[in-house]
Amino acid sequence: MPSRLRKELQVDPYYINCCLRAVRASERANMGCSGRIEWHHNARFGGSNIQERFAILPLCKIHHRAVNQLKEKLDQIMLNRATDDQIKKISKAVDYQRLKIYLNKKYGDM
């Protein structure tokens, strides 16, 4: 991760708590958050992790261990943090705009 981006994330209040803690309790995966916050690179493009704020999600240790089971919910959170231009930029192999619409229908708008 570029040091400039790391410094930005360290002072951003969004990255203090697990991003799944903010999800409505009725939808919260695994309900309880536990452990220190780890930064999860949720998407790859061109064989590398996307090094942009919208694609890096704060997860507690428990949720970070379970990213495979939480993939859709994490994708929804990431895509709702991204701008339309950011989504277009990474939508080559996967149509992320369509995925965002699908996930918001499935889990409800964020």
pLDDT digits (tens, 9 = 90+) for 27-43: 555 457 888 999 999 99
Could you tell me which residues come within 8 angstroms of residue 23 by beta carbon, excluding any fewer than 6 positions away?
29, 73, 77
Q: How far is CA 98 from the centre of its chain?
A: 17
Q: What pLDDT is stored for residue 11 in this prediction?
A: 95
Rg of the Cα trace of the chain?
14
Between these two residues, 21 and 79, which has the higher pLDDT value? 79
Whole-angstrom distance, CA of residue 14 vs CA of residue 47: 27
User: Tokens 């694609």 appear where?
Assistant: 55
Alpha helices in 1-110 (DSSP H): 3-11, 61-65, 71-81, 84-90, 96-107
Q: How many structural domains compose the chain? A: 1
Is residue 24 over pLDDT 60?
no
Per the structure, the complete domain to which residue 49 belongs is given by 3-107
In this prediction the pTM is 0.85
Q: What pLDDT is stored for residue 30 in this prediction?
A: 46
